[in-house]
Chains A and B, each alone.
Chain A
Amino acid sequence: MQALTNRAQEVSRKPMTFMERLYIPSILKGMAITFSHIFKKQPTIRYPEQKREFSPVFRGLHVLNRDEEGRERCTACGLCAVACPAEAITMEAAEREVGQENLYREEKYAAKYEINMLRCIFCGLCEEACPKDAIYLSETFAPANFTRTGFIYGKDNLLIPNPVTEPEAYAAAKGQRN
């Protein structure tokens, strides 16, 4: 039979020599290897103090965006929910009333917008589907929670802080993205 690789070795059934039966030479060899590891660099990242940098294309928790005047961009068109392969997004649309022009950018807005973070696979297809640039994935990830319902994020969790009234919080939430 032809060997699949050139790394195949014939099994040796030779009885061990006296030196091999002592084990000590091979044990010393192994100890030299472990000793050399004392001087090796540790790859550990000491987590809470030291955080690993995400790559610039990291897809984390979703953020519902606002425009420069602090109005919600989302029009509840539902394209993100359609695009979502995990069916994690649900929303309810509502009509903008007179006097709410400073809250919502267009005449229709999302009264309820929920993403189930346990279902979400963080693929970013919602971000691509959105015609209004209203949803994008940020640089953080969902923290642990005690209940399953805690992972269903509503608008209160997803909406980015208002850039007019809270510019610092807005900048922090926006992160390094565009």
Chain B
Amino acid sequence: MTLLAVDWLLIIEKLILIAIIVFASLGIALYTTFAERKVAAVLQDRPGPNRAGPFGLLQPFADGLKLIMKEEIIPTSSNKALFVLGPGLAMTAALMTCSVIPWSSHIEIFDRKIDLQIADINIGILYIFGVVSMGVYGMMIGGWASNNKFSLMAALRGASQAISYELAMGLSLIAVLMLSGSLSLKTIVDGQMAAGSYWNIVYQPLGFIIFFVCALAECNRTPFDLPEAENELNFGYHQEYSSMKLGFYLFSEYINMIMSSAVMASLYFGGFDVPFLDESTLAPNIAAIIGVAALLTKIAIFIFVFMWIRWTVPRFRYDQLMNLGWKTMIPLALFNMLVTGALILLKAGV
């Protein structure tokens, strides 16, 4: 009877949660592409897509349909298995990040407490770093398997950029970890929610700026979209891709954006915390819904800032990118880490 000893309800509840979160992220990513075009339009004094459906709201579906209907081309000179693997890997890595993000506290259904987090593992943030670095493989493999010099060059750029900025990102993160004393995202958020404590942004303004810039670079967003430099590399690492495989690459970029926004909100802006509201006085289910809404609002604001930057700043040159990463971001992150450590020690009175 060992089989029945498994908590089947737990598995079912987690499976439902996974399904909801994955489909919600896909849906949000769908409309993020729409939001990108609308934000671009508004910032450039244009109306933007407004033909498909009311206010152009059906535009993302039209775009998706168009991508699916396109002819699927696999170049004869490409490595076919890797060529197909590339976009799949990019998409999987992008979606896997959502599993450790605490979307809200917990809900209670039939006396059963359900955490709104797929897995509260004690190395949550380390897991995110691991998965995000795996996303680089999607780009690398895609660029290499295309057997095209532009794709390969773009993939190399993407990989070197990701490696350079992951360093500064990790260093700026260490300061947060020193403050919260845990790698679990849930504990980090709870620490910021606790009465009498402020969001981490209050203690880590410099760390947040470094983390934000590095997140831009990790998501290949402008001004760090060198792997997709149209004017130098035709189209970048996904040049040979067509149809839905191209769609996967473009889509994974948006999912990465949502996930990095969620991580930033959790690390620096109190996750699902609503400022000036004591959640413990509310019924748990209502508090959970308010928490989800709060986190989604924070994510939306971050995504808007991402787009706002994209439609303001032109692309960096490659040497500027490397100088910024190695000569500015890493020293600043080290400085931030040392100052945070010193202040923590001073406060502890050692």
Contacts and interface: CB of A to CB of B under 8 A. Distances in A.
Contact of B47 (A23, A27, A34, A42): A42
Interface string B288-316: 00000000000000000000110111000
A34 B312 contact: yes
Contacts of A34: 43, 308, 311-312
A21 to B, nearest CB: 6
A33 B43 CA distance: 9
B44 interface: yes
Given A21-B323, A23-B324, A24-B209, A42 B312 contact: no
A53 to B, nearest CB: 19
B46 interface: yes
- Closest 4 CB pairs between A and B? A34-B312, A30-B312, A34-B43, A31-B312
A30 B328 contact: no
Contacts of A30: 312-313
B52 interface: no
A94 B50 CA distance: 54
Given A21-B328, A23-B324, A31 B45 contact: no
B328 A42 contact: no
B42 interface: yes
A40 B41 CA distance: 12
Chain A contact-residue range equals: 10 to 19
Interface in A75-132: none
A13 interface: no
Interface of B: 42-47, 50, 209, 223, 308-309, 311-313, 323-324, 327-328
A40 B313 contact: no
A35 interface: yes
Contacts of A21: 323-324, 327-328
Contact of A38 (B42, B309, B328): B42
Nearest to B314: A30
Given A21-B328, A22-B328, A27-B312, A37 B47 contact: no
A37 B323 contact: no
Nearest to A33: B312
Interface in A1-53: 21-24, 27, 30-31, 33-35, 37-38, 40-44, 46
Contacts of B309: 27, 31
Contacts of B45: 37, 40-44
Nearest to A48: B51
Contact of A46 (B47, B223, B308): B47
A27 B313 contact: yes
A22 B311 CA distance: 19
A72 B223 CA distance: 66
A35 B45 CA distance: 11
Given A21-B328, A22-B328, A24-B209, A37 B313 contact: no
Given A37-B44, A37-B45, A44-B46, A31 B308 contact: yes
A39 to B, nearest CB: 9
Contacts of A22: 328
Contacts of B311: 34
Given A38-B42, A43-B45, A44-B46, 16 more contacts: A21-B328, A24-B209, A27-B309, A27-B313, A30-B312, A30-B313, A31-B312, A33-B312, A34-B311, A37-B42, A37-B43, A38-B43, A40-B45, A42-B47, A44-B45, A46-B47
8 contacts: A27-B309, A31-B308, A34-B312, A35-B43, A35-B308, A38-B43, A42-B45, A42-B46
A30 B43 CA distance: 12
Contacts of B312: 27, 30-31, 33-34
Contacts of B44: 37
A162 B209 CA distance: 74
Nearest to A30: B312
